[in-house]
C-alpha cells in the first residue's frame, strides 16, 4: 500500500495466506502478477491495474479477501462508519506506509480503511 489512493474508493485487496512464496508462485505463473516484498510476512502484488497484498499476519479467512478502502481523513472515515452502524473490529493501528482500521458492515462483511502517513 505504498501509493495513496483516491478518497473513499476501493484501493487494495488483501489475502491472508498460509505461504507467501506459494501464493506468489501461483498468481505470478497464472496471471503474471508482479510483487514487492515488505518483510517476511507481507508482499504487495500488482496486476497492472489494481494492487493488493498477501499477508501471513492473520489466519486465512475462508470466504474471500479483505477489501481495503482509502480515506484521506482516517478519523472522519471511522466516524462515518460508526454513524452508519458499522462496528469497528480492529482499532486504528500503524503499519509501514500508514495507518488503518477494520470494520464490520451491517451484513457482517469485514473491510478496512487506510490512510497514508
pLDDT per position as a tens digit, 72-93: 999 999 999 999 889 999 999 9
pLDDT on residue 4: 60
Work out the number of other CB atoms within 10 angstroms of the CB of residue 91: 8
Report, as an integer, the average pLDDT of 43-61.
Answer: 88
- Under DSSP, is residue 20 helix (H, G, I), strand (E, B) or coil? helix
pLDDT on residue 3: 57
Task: Report residue 107's pLDDT band, with 50, 70 and 90 as the boundaries.
Answer: confident
Amino acid at each position: 500500500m505504498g501509493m495513496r489512493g483516491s478518497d473513499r474508493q476501493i484501493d487494495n485487496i488483501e489475502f491472508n495466506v498460509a505461504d507467501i512464496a506459494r501464493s506468489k508462485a501461483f498468481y505470478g505463473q497464472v496471471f503474471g502478477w508482479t510483487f514487492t516484498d515488505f518483510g517476511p510476512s507481507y508482499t504487495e502484488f500488482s496486476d497492472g491495474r489494481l494492487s493488493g497484498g498477501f499477508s501471513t499476519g492473520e489466519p486465512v479467512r475462508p470466504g474471500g479477501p479483505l477489501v481495503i478502502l482509502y480515506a484521506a481523513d482516517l478519523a472522519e472515515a471511522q466516524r462515518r462508519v460508526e454513524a452508519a452502524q458499522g462496528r469497528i473490529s480492529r482499532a486504528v493501528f500503524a503499519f509501514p506506509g500508514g495507518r488503518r482500521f477494520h470494520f464490520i458492515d451491517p451484513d457482517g462483511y469485514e473491510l478496512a480503511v487506510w490512510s497514508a502517513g
